[in-house]
C-alpha cells in the first residue's frame, strides 16, 4: 500500500487483496464464492477509491467469485491525507472428499510442482522498502534491459490469481497438497501442508527466478535463507503429487501457467530443516541482469562503444544483438559484421539493418594467423572496440586473442564450466541433468574457458531431443547475449589481472 501511494498507482492493489484471499482458499481445495472489501481513509478521494474498487471488481472476475459489497470508512483522525487502508475476505466451498491437504496420502518420493509467481506477491514489502531506501534507487528508477519500466511498476506487478487455472487440477484427485507461498516464503509455507515426518528438497535451478528477486538479493545483501524465508523467489504456489502422475499434472497446469518440477518429498528426522533449497545462490546469480542493468538504463547514450560481430551462418544471435543496440539507451553500437562465409543469412540481416558487412573467406589464407590478421585489419579500419562471436565457427589464434584480451565476447549453449565443446546439447542429454542453459564469457586462448559474464538457466524436459533443447536454449541466448554486451560496453563488468572478472 505504501509503495502504491508513493507511486500514485492504485489499480493493482485491489487484485493483490483478492488474490491473497482466494489463493489461500485454494489450500483447502475450495472454490471462492464471494468477496467483501473494507476501504478506510482519512478523507475520501473519489478517484483513488474508484481505482482501488475497480481493481477489486476486476480481480473478482478473474477469480470467478462475486463481489457482494463492502464498507468505506472515513476517519480523519486515524489516517493522514493521501493514505488509506484496505482489507477483505473471501468465502469458498469444497466437497468434503476433495479437501486439502490429504496428509495421509503424502509419501516419500512424491514430486513437488512449483507454479510461477508474477513477482513479490504482496509479502516482504517492509524489507523491500528498507532495501530501496538504502540503495541508490527510488521507485521511479528505470529498470530492466529496455529501461521502459520503473522499479515501482515492477514492485506493483499484481499478484497472480490461481483459482480458475488450478481448480480443475485440484479437483482431479491427483493433488495431495497445495501451499500458497505468502509471508514466510518457501521455508515456512510448504511445511504447513506436510505431515511432521516429511520435508522437501527443492532445486532453485529448475525454475525461472524473476529479476526483481535477484535485485533484492544483491542490493539488500541478503543471505539465501533470508531470501527463501521472506520471499516466494518466483514460486507462487506449490503442489504435491504422486511421482507417476507428476508429468500429467504438470502438463495440465502448463496449459495456463508457467510451472516446473522443482523437487521431491523426503522422510524427515525430527528437528531437521523441513525445506532445503539447493542452488539458490547460483540461480539468483544466473538471473541477475536487472540488478546491474538498472544502474545503466534509462538515459540516451551518445558515446557508444563500437562493436563488430563475427558470424558464419544464419545470425539469430546477431539479430538479437542488433535489436538491442538499436535502442537509444544502448551503450553499444554495431558498426561491422564480418563473416567467413559468403551469402549467409546473417549478412542479409546486417544489410537490412544498415550495418556494413565484410566477407573474409578463411579458405583463402594459409594459416589461422594469416586469416586472423586479415580480420584484425578490417576491425582497425572500423575503429572497433569490442567483438562479439555470434555463431562464428572458427577458433581464433593465440596472438589475436591476446591482442583483444577482455574485448571478445562469446556465447556457449551450456552452463559453463559444464559441457564444453561443440556437442553441448548431446552431452547434456547423455548426462541426464535436469537443467542447462547458456553462458556469455570473455574469450581466452583455451576454448570455453574465459571469465563468465552472464548465464541463464534453461530446464531440460522429459523427452527432449538435441533439436528441442537447442531451440529452448536459443531463446535464452537471445536474451543473455544482449544483456552481457550492455554490461561490458557500459563498464559494469571487465576482466582484470589473471583473467578474473570485476564488477
Q: Report the distance separating Cα 442 and Cα 239, nearest Å.
A: 41
Beta bridge partners of 456: 438
412 is catalytic: yes
**C-alpha cell recorded at residue 97:** 472428499
Q: Which ranges in 382-465 belong to alpha helices (H)?
A: 398-403, 424-431
Q: Are 136 and 218 in contact (CB under 8 A)?
A: no
- Nearest in space to 3 (alpha carbons), one of 119, 115, 117: 119
Catalytic residue, from 10, 121, 293, 412: name it: 412
**Helix and strand counts by DSSP (H, E) for the chain:** 18, 20
Q: Grid coordinates representing 465?
A: 531431443
The cell numbers describing 17, all together, are: 487483496
- Record the cell numbers describing residue 314, joined without a space: 544464419
The three cell numbers of residue 100 are 486439502
Query: Is residue 202 classed exposed, middle or buried when 0-12, 13-18 and 19+ CB atoms within 10 A define those classes?
Result: buried
- Strand 111-116 and strand 149-150: the pairing is unpaired
* Closest to 63 (Cα-Cα) out of 173, 181, 159, 177: 159
> Do 233 and 186 meet the contact criterion of CB atoms below 8 Å apart?
yes
Tell me how many degrees the CA angle 437-440-443 measures, rounded to the nearest 5: 135
Q: Which residue's C-alpha cell is 546473417?
A: 346
Q: Which three cell numbers stand for residue 101?
A: 491437504
In whole angstroms, give the CA distance from residue 207 to residue 431: 20
Burial class (CB in 10 A: 0-12, 13-18, 19+), 263: buried
Do 116 and 236 meet the contact criterion of CB atoms below 8 Å apart? Answer: yes
Report d(CA 180, CA 27) in Å as an integer: 7
Lookup: cell for 447:
576454448
Q: Which pairing describes strands 142-143 and 501-502: parallel, antiparallel, or unpaired? A: unpaired
Measured in degrees and rounded to the nearest 5, phi and psi for residue 392 equal -85, 110
Residues with a known catalytic role = 412
Amino acid at each position: 500500500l505504501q509503495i502504491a501511494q508513493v507511486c500514485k498507482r492504485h489499480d493493482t492493489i485491489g487484485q493483490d487483496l483478492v488474490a491473497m484471499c482466494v489463493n489461500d482458499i485454494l489450500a483447502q481445495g475450495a472454490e471462492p464464492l464471494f468477496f467483501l472489501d473494507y476501504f478506510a481513509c482519512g478523507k475520501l478521494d473519489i478517484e483513488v477509491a474508484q481505482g482501488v474498487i475497480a481493481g477489486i471488481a476486476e480481480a473478482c472476475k478473474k477469480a470467478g467469485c462475486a463481489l457482494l459489497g463492502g464498507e468505506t470508512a472515513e476517519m480523519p483522525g486515524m489516517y493522514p491525507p493521501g493514505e488509506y487502508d484496505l482489507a477483505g475476505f473471501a468465502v469458498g466451498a469444497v466437497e468434503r472428499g476433495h479437501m486439502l491437504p490429504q496428509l495421509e496420502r503424502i509419501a516419500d518420493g512424491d514430486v513437488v510442482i512449483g507454479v510461477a509467481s508474477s513477482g513479490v506477491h504482496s509479502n516482504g514489502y517492509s524489507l523491500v522498502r528498507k532495501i530501496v531506501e538504502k540503495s541508490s534507487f527510488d521507485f521511479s528508477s528505470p529498470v530492466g534491459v529496455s529501461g521502459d519500466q520503473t522499479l515501482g511498476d515492477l514492485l506493483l506487478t499484481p499478484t497472480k490469481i490461481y483459482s480458475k487455472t488450478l481448480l480443475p487440477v485440484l479437483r482431479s484427485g491427483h493433488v495431495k497438497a497445495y501451499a500458497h507461498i505468502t509471508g514466510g516464503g518457501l521455508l515456512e509455507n510448504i511445511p504447513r501442508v506436510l505431515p511432521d515426518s516429511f520435508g522437501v528438497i527443492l532445486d532453485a535451478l529448475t525454475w525461472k527466478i524473476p529479476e526483481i528477486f535477484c535485485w533484492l538479493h544483491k542490493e539488500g545483501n541478503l543471505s539465501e535463507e533470508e531470501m527463501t524465508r521472506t520471499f516466494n523467489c518466483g514460486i507462487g504456489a506449490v503442489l504435491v503429487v504422486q511421482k507417476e502422475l507428476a508429468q500429467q499434472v504438470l502438463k495440465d497446469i502448463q496449459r495456463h501457467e508457467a510451472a516446473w518440477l522443482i523437487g521431491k518429498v523426503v522422510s524427515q528426522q525430527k528437528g531437521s530443516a523441513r525445506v532445503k533449497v539447493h542452488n539458490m545462490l547460483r540461480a539468483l546469480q544466473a538471473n541477475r541482469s536487472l540488478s546491474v542493468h538498472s544502474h545503466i538504463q534509462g538515459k540516451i547514450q551518445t558515446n557508444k562503444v563500437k562493436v563488430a560481430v563475427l558470424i558464419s551462418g544464419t545470425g539469430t544471435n546477431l539479430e538479437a544483438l542488433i535489436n538491442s543496440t538499436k535502442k537509444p539507451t544502448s551503450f553499444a553500437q554495431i558498426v561491422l559484421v564480418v563473416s567467413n562465409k559468403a551469402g549467409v543469412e546473417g549478412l542479409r540481416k546486417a544489410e537490412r539493418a544498415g550495418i556494413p558487412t565484410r566477407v573474409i573467406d578463411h579458405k583463402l589464407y594459409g594459416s589461422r594467423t594469416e586469416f586472423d590478421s586479415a580480420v584484425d585489419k578490417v576491425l582497425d579500419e572500423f575503429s572497433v572496440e569490442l567483438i562479439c562471436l555470434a555463431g562464428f565457427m572458427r577458433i581464433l589464434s593465440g596472438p589475436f586473442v591476446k591482442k583483444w584480451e577482455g574485448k571478445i565476447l562469446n556465447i556457449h549453449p551450456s552452463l559453463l564450466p559444464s559441457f564444453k565443446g561443440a556437442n553441448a546439447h548431446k552431452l547434456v542429454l547423455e548426462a541426464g541433468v535436469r537443467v542447462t542453459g547458456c553462458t556469455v564469457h570473455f574469450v581466452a586462448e583455451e576454448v570455453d574457458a574465459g571469465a563468465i559474464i552472464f548465464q541463464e538457466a534453461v530446464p531440460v524436459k522429459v523427452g527432449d531431443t538435441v533439436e528441442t533443447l537447442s531451440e529452448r536454449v536459443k531463446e535464452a541466448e537471445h536474451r543473455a547475449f544482449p544483456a552481457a554486451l550492455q554490461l561490458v560496453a557500459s563498464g559494469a563488468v571487465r576482466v582484470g589481472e589473471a583473467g578474473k572478472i570485476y564488477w
